[in-house]
Amino acid sequence: MKNYDDIVSLSKEYGINAEYASDEFYPVFRAAAADSRILVLTDENTVRFGAPFAEKLKGYGLSAALYTIPEKEPVADEKTCALVSDKLDGCDYVLAVGAGTLNDIAKYTTFHAGKKCGVLATAASMDGFTSGVTPLIKKGFKITENAQTVSDILIDFDILCGAPKIMTGAGTGDILAKFCCLTDWKMSHFLNGESYNEEAASLMRVALDKCVGNIASIEQCGREGIDALLRALLISGYAMVIAGNSRPASGAEHHMSHFLEMDFLRRGERIPLHGVKVGLGTMVSLKMYKRIAFVPQDFPGKETVAALAESLPEPEWVAGVLSALGCPTRFSEIGVSRDTVRDMLFNCYKIRDRFTIMTLYNRYGLMKDAADELMEQFY
């Protein structure tokens, strides 16, 4: 069994240096990057962390330059990636100072330029830090591109605990989602014989449980809570490597999020934070599991699914956590239409050939009866 408590050693197994801020200023990272020309990549929001960081590196005798994307909230699309790619000539290593978007841009552009990358995390907002692929917007579509994993993830709680609450809320949504996707996976294992990786699932489960145990601290953006949350976000990436697929991290709640994303892109609107949409999907998924025991229809595996649902939290509990962190708890709050959300309930399972609670509802005709109730509670 992998050791949850030693995230530094665990990360090392996957070739990642997870290093906490200390008086010695990231000695492992500095030693490894001693001969590199480092480009510190920020946006207008994160330059306040990136600029002093670059100065500090220079103070330790390292070569460091700073590039700030001239936007407050850049998008990981072909335009921004081209802009950053143009800046890579004089460097060997890009250190992104940010969370999802900056990290995605750094992983993708350095992968294609044959350089290394790392991240100084500014928010515990999503679980893509340790993943080897990256979501990008190309020609108006969201696609998953090959990239590389970061070599270093630098963790400073003074920065992470001060991140905007909604970003911590988004990370929390992405982790509470694991209740659903792990159950989707196990359900498919029981009902369809899909292979299930106990090691990956239990590592994710331990990390999830530690977050739940620290939920009060997470809601306060306290150090212990943020530590548990960030560990879980990193472990999500490792669990996917162990499983060989994204089952430990993504189920119906992620399909709902992807479905909505396409709607935002079609309308040319800014996409809400990944974890915000996933958090909403998590509540819907939980509700769908919880009501299985009471549906009149009979279908193969009904008792199994109802039994799996018993150990899941109530969607209202998730709503309480997410709203304490300033996250929306209804789809109407994120700027999608009622019709789109209804359409999502009936069609988002088609996004991927992956059996989830959404597949089950639609396969056995349960959504007809459930849709009004779900819309009532979550739109």
**Residue 354 CB, nearest approach to Zn ion (Å):** 14
- In the bound state with Zn ion, the residue whose beta carbon lies nearer, of 116 and 254, is 254
- In the bound state with Zn ion, the residue whose beta carbon lies nearer, of 174 and 261, is 174
The residue from 174, 184, 253, 263 that contacts Zn ion (CB under 5 A) is 174
- Residue 356: strand, helix, or coil: coil
287, 315 in Cβ contact below 8 A?
yes
- In the bound state with Zn ion, the residue whose beta carbon lies nearer, of 43 and 174, is 174
Token digits of residue 292: 């299985």
**Residue 372 CB, nearest approach to Zn ion (Å):** 28
**Residue 175 CB, nearest approach to Zn ion (Å):** 9
98, 46 in Cβ contact below 8 A?
yes
Q: How far apart are CA 331 and CA 337, in angstroms?
A: 8
- In the bound state with Zn ion, the residue whose beta carbon lies nearer, of 50 and 237, is 237
Q: How many residues bind Zn ion (CB under 5 A)?
A: 1
- Which residue is closest to Zn ion by CB? 174
Binding map of Zn ion across residues 179-218, x = CB under 5 A, - = no contact: ----------------------------------------
The angle subtended at Cα 99 by Cα 96 and Cα 104, nearest 5°, is: 65
- In the bound state with Zn ion, the residue whose beta carbon lies nearer, of 174 and 227, is 174
**Residue 232 CB, nearest approach to Zn ion (Å):** 11
- Residue 248: strand, helix, or coil: coil
**Residue 274 CB, nearest approach to Zn ion (Å):** 6
**Residue 207 CB, nearest approach to Zn ion (Å):** 14
Of 152, 173, 265, 276, give the one whose Cα is nearest residue 219: 173
- In the bound state with Zn ion, the residue whose beta carbon lies nearer, of 152 and 174, is 174
Is 104 a binder of Zn ion (CB under 5 A)? no
Q: How far apart are CA 102 and CA 49, in angstroms?
A: 13
**Residue 186 CB, nearest approach to Zn ion (Å):** 19
Token digits of residue 245: 């697929």
**Residue 114 CB, nearest approach to Zn ion (Å):** 28
> CA 39 from chain center: how many Å?
25
Binding map of Zn ion across residues 1-20, x = CB under 5 A, - = no contact: --------------------
Separation in Å, CA 313 to CA 38, 62, 208, 216, 288: 45, 49, 12, 16, 12
Is 261 a binder of Zn ion (CB under 5 A)? no
- In the bound state with Zn ion, the residue whose beta carbon lies nearer, of 104 and 174, is 174
Token digits of residue 34: 């001693």
- In the bound state with Zn ion, the residue whose beta carbon lies nearer, of 274 and 287, is 274
Q: How far apart are CA 378 and CA 362, in angstroms?
A: 19
64, 92 in Cβ contact below 8 A?
no
- Bridge pairing between strands 116-121 and 93-98: parallel
Which alpha helices (H) appear in 221-334, and where do they start and end? 223-243, 252-266, 274-290, 302-310, 315-324
What residues does 155 pair with on adjacent strands? Answer: 20
239, 248 in Cβ contact below 8 A?
yes
Region from 24-32, 166-174, 280-288, 292-300 binding Zn ion, contact rule CB under 5 A: 166-174
Region from 94-102, 173-181, 225-233, 301-309 binding Zn ion, contact rule CB under 5 A: 173-181
Using CB under 5 A as the binding rule, the residues of this chain from 28 to 47 that contact Zn ion are: none
**Residue 253 CB, nearest approach to Zn ion (Å):** 8
- In the bound state with Zn ion, the residue whose beta carbon lies nearer, of 50 and 275, is 275
Token digits of residue 181: 């996707």
Region from 1-9, 71-79, 169-177, 361-369 binding Zn ion, contact rule CB under 5 A: 169-177
**Residue 312 CB, nearest approach to Zn ion (Å):** 18
Region from 15-23, 25-33, 167-175, 181-189 binding Zn ion, contact rule CB under 5 A: 167-175
Residues 6+ apart with CB under 8 A from 36: 62, 63, 91, 92, 93, 116
Chain residues binding Zn ion by CB under 5 A are: 174
